[in-house]
Each structure stands twice: as structure tokens, then as C-alpha cells.
Chain A
Amino acid sequence: MTQLTENSQDIYMDNNATTMVDPEVVAEMMPFFTEQFGNPSSLHSFGNKVGFAIKKARKQIQRLLGAEFDSEIIFTSCGSESDSTAILSALRAQPERKEIITTVVEHPAVLTLCEFLETEGYTVHKLGVDERGRLDLDEYRRKLSDKVAVVSVMWANNESGTIFPVEQMAEMAHEAGVMFHTDAVQAVGKLPIDLENSKIHMLSLSGHKLHAPKGVGVLYLKRGTRFRPLLRGGHQERGRRAGTENVASIVGLGKAAELAMKHMAYENTEVKAMRDRLQEGILAAVPNAFATGDLDNRLPNTASIAFEFIEGEAILLLMNKAGIAASSGSACTSGSLEPSHVMMAMGIPYTAAHGTVRFSLSRYNNMEEVERVIKEVPPIVAKLRKLSPYWSENGPVENPQESFAPVYA
């Protein structure tokens, strides 16, 4: 694939944060800003054609998700809206059920909502993970009961890339008579999905994670699932999500879904090979570094590498200077108190959790870029370690945690 970013020198490896809109997607969207400006709800021909375009997009999404009916696709404004809609709908439709099952490593779109719901009197069971970020399904089974309104478990983790067995977990929920939602924002477009043959009731996806624009998402709602809309007021999306459709973005998302199908094999072979080379190359050159997550069962594009004894934000700033964009689980990049809740949940020690860097690739990266990153990263790590009180000449100081034990404020 060709390099299409603004500065051809810059390397973008932060695709789990957001992706470039595919030029084919942009081309598909353009007419809907100009000649095709009608409101799909209108009777006249201006609106009618737009209505057909949305119908086409719905079909394209249906195919990518392997959904049985296109009416199971509800367009929303983003992944977070889909998550909130799904969880709140399950609670409102089953007011007698006051419990939620989720995991400690969910995206804030789910976790923050669940924490808020706790203050409203709901009980939230957060499933823990092991050092590789894996769930304990026996613990999950024990928590399932007729008191639980909904299970919400992400398909793949945005930080470590670890994939959860959501299809199996949905089966288990089904047996227990519990509704199942998955935040599949990171999985859609990277992993094959077959919702028709699953027991998943609801699934969230976000356009901008798969080369569609920001500001559009989807909630998949299996036919027959009890539902209470978040936004009422219009007949759009069959009365399940009011508000005039974001037509251009919906059309773009449809095209992006079609392209994702086309590139699915490439993602799982070529992109995966680049990711593997990147990880292997960096770990071979940098001592005291390790990959986090479930290495044999993770997204093909994601490598999360912990560099011990240095801090993530400092690494990112230096990488940015070298024209490489990635992201970090350090507290400092988010302004929060703790390093990444995902790294802490996996029991990664403090001094390594702060130094995790996530590289997330896409079909727009190439092997040359990978080699350049492999070359640029080791001196950056070395430079920062030279400044670190935990590091001496060629390696960590002996008993790093003891020889440097600062007074903490």
C-alpha cells in the first residue's frame, strides 16, 4: 500500500486510536455533501436517493458483521453511544435485574458508565484478568444469574490487543438467560465476525477505527432482543435511534466495511507479519523490555511493549520528534492518577506499566517503516534510561526497587 499521510516522512502506528479515512471512502462520501444533500425522510426525489444510499450502507455493514437481517444494524454517532445505548437499554427493559457483568480492562466508554451506574444502586461485577490479560471463565460462570441484566465484554482489548472468547461467553450467557453485549470497536474489520451464528445480542462498532470517518458508529441489535432507545423523538432507524442520519458518514462507513472485507486476509497475514517483525526487532535490540497481553491470541495489528524503568510520555515525545506516532499506557499522557488500568490489571509492575508503548499498525504501513522504527526506538530508550535513577551504565541498578526507594508524596 502507498504511504498517504500528510508528511510522507512520518510513520503512523497509532491505528487503535484512530485511522486514516480511506481515499475510496472519501470519494464515496463526497456527493453527499453537495448534490445528494436531501433528508432521507423526505418524500421528494432529493431525499429518496439518499435513503437508498443508507440502505446500501446498511447492507455493507450487515455483510461485514455476518448479521442475519439488515434491520439489525442501527446507525449511531460513535462507539461510545452504541455502548451506552446497549447497556442502558438492557437495564431499562429489565428493571427487575440490577446487576451487570463486565471486565476490569474495558474501555472507559463501558467502565465509566458502569461506575456511574454503581452510584445509582446497580451492582457491577468486574471480571479480573491474569498476567496475559485473559479472563477466568469459571469466575464468569459463577457470576451469571437471573439478577444480571446484561454482560458487556469487549471483543478485543484496545491496549494489549488481547482477544476475549466473546462467542463462547455469549453462549454461556444465553444458557443462563442473560443478555450479552460486546464492544467490538477494535475487532470489527480486523477479525472475521459471524453474528448470525452467535448468541451475541448487541455489538458496538466505531467507524473511525476502520478507515471510515469519526462521528459514526453502529449498534447491532439481534432481532427479538428487547430494546429501549437512548434517543427518542424520530422514526429514524425504525424508531430505535432518533435524529436525522449523518448520511455522508454512514455512506463512508458502508464503503469502509466493504473494503475491510476485501482486506481482511491482508490484515491477518501481511499486517500481522509487519507487527511480528516490529516486536521481534525491538525486543532483540532493547534489553529489559517485553511484550504484554495474550501473545498468541491478539489483534493482528497490535504490539504493546513495556520498556522498564522509563516513562511512556517521555518515550512518545522523543518518538514524535523522530516522526513516529504511537501511544502509551502511562498516566502522564492521559492526566490521570494511575498508569493504564489494563497494564495494572495484568499485574505489570509499576516501573514497567508506566513505560508501555502501544504500536498499532494498519494496511497503510509497510515493512520499510517497520525497519525504521526498529532502528529509531533503541537509542530513544537508551537516552531516557541514562536519565533514570533505576538504571546504571549498561543495565538496571542492582535491586532497582531497593537502591532507589524515593519518599512518595
Chain B
Amino acid sequence: MWNYSEKVKEHFFDPKNAGAVEDANATGDVGSLSCGDALRLTLKVNPATEVIENAGFQTFGCGSAIASSSALTEIIKGKTIDEALQVSNQDIADYLDGLPPEKMHCSVMGREALQAAVADYRGEEWKDDHEEGALVCKCFAIDEVLVEQTIRENNLRTVEEVTNYTKAGGGCSSCHEGIEGVLTRVLAENGEAFVPAAIGSTTQPLTTLATEVSPTPKAVPEAAQQVAVSNGILKRIRKIEMVLESVRPALQADKGDVELVEVAGNIIYVHLTGACSGCQMAAMTLGGIQQRLIEELGEFVKVLPDTEMPVALGGA
């Protein structure tokens, strides 16, 4: 069974604003092929103030689709249309204390229903501009369509390149076989063959771009490191820094960056900057970093943005 948050369960078992709004003047009907889910959002908008006075949903879908719909209606009620349009799918996921990576598209569906309803209110025609595919990389929630498009647009040839451009494969690496499959298929379209990197080649996922973007410090051999750092805490922080260092090139490729702010027990606070902060993928990025850290440190840690840091630790 999915690892749903208490908040998701709450909104699924006892959804808010279920049903169609009686005197609605805006309707948005959208569906997500990934799950066969579909959602109808009805709004009652005050024509003078453009405030959403009432919102209701009808959903054909799984637990998280219903919870996302319920959360969406709660978030947008009382907002003006323009304010509501600022709501991202990440906001919906955050409102629910997060969604499993496979279920993020449920929150995307919520956002799209909102856009469709607003378009309907304004007498515009809403067209969906993105396509979803099967999930390839679970660490960073990257789907097949995105991987395929990125390979085509940038003439990518290796798994490492795919990781650098999309982050897919940069976590636990168990999806590399799948990425090779997509590469083989796309390259074959132009009569090319996929050639895997030689075993022992120096190229590592997520670090190839380093030479172009910023020089990566030479990794200290683990044995030497242990001699240099005898203190356990220092060693742990050193390891954390090394993981952050290894994901940095991929983030910089997306015009963003990450830095370590504080380590409080098993919670690691980081600061996301540039395009990464507020980026819809921020939570995914953190999830991916967390996965790497768990593997590297051999313990469970939680990675949170510094905005969630308690005041006592120097947070806002």
C-alpha cells in the first residue's frame, strides 16, 4: 500500500467540497492518462471581485487524486482568480504533506483543472501542453516522455548525459536499464546504435557536467579521508557535503544550486537557490538528494529546505 501522509488520508476519507457547485459559472474537466483519473472542478466566481466564492470537485480516481482535488478546493476558496492561478501542483502536494513520486501527477491534474476552469470562466479555450509517460526514475520522478524528448532535443547518447540533463538515473541508479532502453529506441530512429560507457571509464553520473560548469574538487579516497577526519560528526558532514557536491552540476545545469545549512540529528537542512527554489521540482530534488544521502550515510535522514528550519536553529 502507498505510504500516504495522514493529511492525504484525511482528505481522502473525508473529502472537502465534494460535488458540483450549484450555481457555478466556471467548469474545468481534465484527466490524466497516467492513472485514468479524471476531475471536474466547478467554481462560483464573483464577477465584480473575481473572488472564488465556492469550489467543488467530482473525481474519478485513486486516493491521492481525490485528496488532491479536495486540497485544491480548500486552497483556492476565497482567493481571486489571479491569486488562485499562482497555486502550483507543488503547493497542492505540500498542503497534503507530500505525495509519493508516482502520485505527483494527481496534483498536476488539480492544477490543470484550475487552469481549465479559469479559461472556461474567461471564455477562453484551454489546451493541455504537457504529456505524461510511465515513470522511469522514481528518485526524481522523471517520466519516459520527458526522457525521450530530452534525448531527441539534445542528441544525447549516454545514460550519464540523460542524468545530467534530466536528473533521471542520478539517485539509486536502478533505472539505468530503463534509460538504456529509451536511448536504444530513440537512437534507432536515426539508425544509430546505443553504445554503453566502458566499465571503469571515469565518467560518473551527475559529474560529467562539472568540467563545463564548475571544477569539482578531486574526491578524497575514502581511506585517506578516514585518517584526516577522525571526528564522527565532521566525517558525517564531510559525507553530506560530498553528496551535495555530486548533485550540484545537475542543479547548475538547471540554473540552480544547493548548499548545506544545518544538520540537526537526522534532519538535514539545505538552501536551494536560483531556479531550484520555488521550482515545481524542488520537492523532487530534495527527495533525490535525500535518497543519495541515505545510501551514502547508511542511515535514515530527512532533507528539508531551510525555510522549514525551526527558529531555535536560526530559521525564519
A: residues with CB less than 8 A from B are: 119, 309-314, 317-318, 320-321, 330-333, 335-337, 339, 350-351, 353-354, 386-390, 404-409
Contact = CB atoms under 8 A, between A and B. Distances in A.
Nearest to A321: B13
B33 A406 contact: no
Contact of B63 (A313, A354, A405, A407): A313
B284 interface: no
Contacts of A405: 29
Interface stretch (B108-116, B164-172, B229-237): B108-116
Given A311-B36, A314-B63, A389-B40, A406 B29 contact: yes
B269 interface: no
Nearest to B1: A320
Chain B interface size band reads: 35 or more
Contacts of A320: 1
Interface in B27-61: 29-40, 57-61
Given A311-B61, A314-B61, A407-B126, A350 B36 contact: yes
A337 B59 contact: no
A409 B134 CA distance: 13
In order of increasing CB-CB distance, the 7 nearest A-B pairs are A332-B62, A406-B31, A313-B62, A389-B58, A406-B29, A335-B102, A389-B40
Contacts of B29: 389, 404-407
A389 B109 CA distance: 15
A262 B36 CA distance: 44
Nearest to B12: A317
B62 A409 contact: no
Contacts of B133: 337
Contacts of B97: none
Contact of B112 (A317, A333, A387, A409): A409
B63 A409 contact: no
A311 B134 contact: no
Contacts of B60: 309-311, 351, 354, 388-390
Nearest to B36: A354
Contact of B39 (A314, A333, A406): A406
19 contacts: A311-B35, A314-B61, A314-B66, A320-B1, A331-B36, A332-B63, A332-B64, A337-B33, A387-B58, A387-B66, A389-B60, A406-B29, A406-B38, A406-B39, A406-B40, A407-B112, A408-B32, A408-B33, A409-B30
Nearest to A312: B62
A314 B106 CA distance: 13
Nearest to B177: A116
A409 B102 contact: no
Contacts of B37: 311, 332
Contacts of A353: 36
Interface in B1-32: 1, 12-13, 15, 18-19, 29-32
A111 to B, nearest CB: 15
A408 B12 contact: no
Contact of B34 (A119, A313, A337): A337
Contacts of B122: none
Given A314-B66, A320-B1, A404-B29, A337 B61 contact: no
Contacts of A313: 62-63
Contacts of B58: 387-389
A314 B31 contact: no
A238 B37 CA distance: 52
Interface string B118-154: 0000000011101111110000000000000000000
A407 B62 contact: no
A386 B14 CA distance: 13
Q: A317, A320, A353 — which one has the most chain B CB atoms within 10 A of its CB?
A: A317
A409 B33 CA distance: 6
Contact of B134 (A309, A336, A386, A408): A336
B33 A386 contact: no
A332 B131 contact: no
A314 B30 contact: no
Contacts of B65: 311, 314, 332
Nearest to A338: B36
Nearest to A334: B102
Contact of A314 (B12, B34, B105, B112): B12
Contact of A389 (B32, B38, B105, B135): B38
Given A321-B13, A386-B19, A389-B58, A409 B128 contact: yes
Given A314-B63, A333-B62, A350-B36, 13 more contacts: A312-B62, A314-B66, A330-B36, A332-B35, A332-B62, A337-B134, A387-B19, A389-B60, A404-B38, A406-B30, A407-B116, A408-B33, A409-B128
A205 to B, nearest CB: 27
Contacts of A389: 29, 38-40, 58-60
Contact of B108 (A404, A406, A409): A409
Nearest to A408: B31
Interface string B64-101: 11100000000000000000000000000000000000
Contacts of A119: 181
A57 B187 CA distance: 52
Contacts of A337: 33-34, 133-134
B51 to A, nearest CB: 25
